[in-house]
Amino acid sequence: MIIIMLGAQGTGKGTVAGIISKQTGFPQISTGDIFRENISKKTELGIEADKYMSKGNLVPDEITVPMVENRLKEDDAQVGAILDGFPRTIEQAQKLDEMLAKSGKKVDLVVNLITPKDEIIDRMLTRRVCTNQDCKTTYNTKLNPPKVEGICDKCGAPLKQREDDSDPDAIRRRLEIYEEKTSPLVDYYKEKGVLRTEQVSISINRLGNDVAMDIVKDIK
């Protein structure tokens, strides 16, 4: 089963994907992790990707798509996989469809998380991330604070606020860009009949854990 996660930063996309992964055994696959792994292993694609990432540029599709394809061929992804951060464009979505069709698979479910903008901004301003790159656990000082302020519960490393999470205006601009780029994807998957839109919001007392467990129930 192939699941795609859509949702702006701050909607709890990673949390929902992580819970679904834990409950189903499907690996949570992000393009960022794929890039880092290929770069660390110095694969041919990783070397090419690093040329772009080291300059702060986006990695082109001709490198990204084969990396995703290779990852989906690994043993742990044969029964199912959760894609987080891919596809980002209609072109990537079409290439993913072609890629999956080669092995008789398809996108089965697209989870589109939405949260009110003001709530997203507040979540991102109060978000803290573990500085240990092998851990990278995310906390929220209001919704999901660590047991000890500024310290990761899991590994004991210091927590930090990302630079791009500290400016409300910058966050608003990122949300606008996300909506502009992602709205065509929402329509694309809606037409295919695989889109599931879920609101994650304190205002309706429905957070990521609630959404994730409902999805897991439906999958099983």
Do 67 and 41 contact (CB within 8 A), yes or no? no
Q: Nearest CA to 53 among 75, 34, 72?
A: 34
Q: Nearest CA to 183 among 104, 79, 106, 112?
A: 112
Do 12 and 200 contact (CB within 8 A), yes or no? yes
Instruction: List residues bridging with 82 in a β-sheet.
Output: 3, 28
Please tell me whether residue 113 adopts helix, strand or coil conformation. strand
What order do you get walking across the sheet with 159-160 strand by strand?
138-140, 127-130, 159-160
Please state, in angstroms and rounded to a whole number, the distance separating the CA atoms of residues 85 and 217: 24
Q: Where in the sequence numbering do the catalytic residues fall?
A: 13, 88, 127, 162, 174
Residue type, 149: E
Please state, in angstroms and rounded to a whole number, the distance separating the CA atoms of residues 105 and 163: 39
Structure tokens at 145: 């604070």
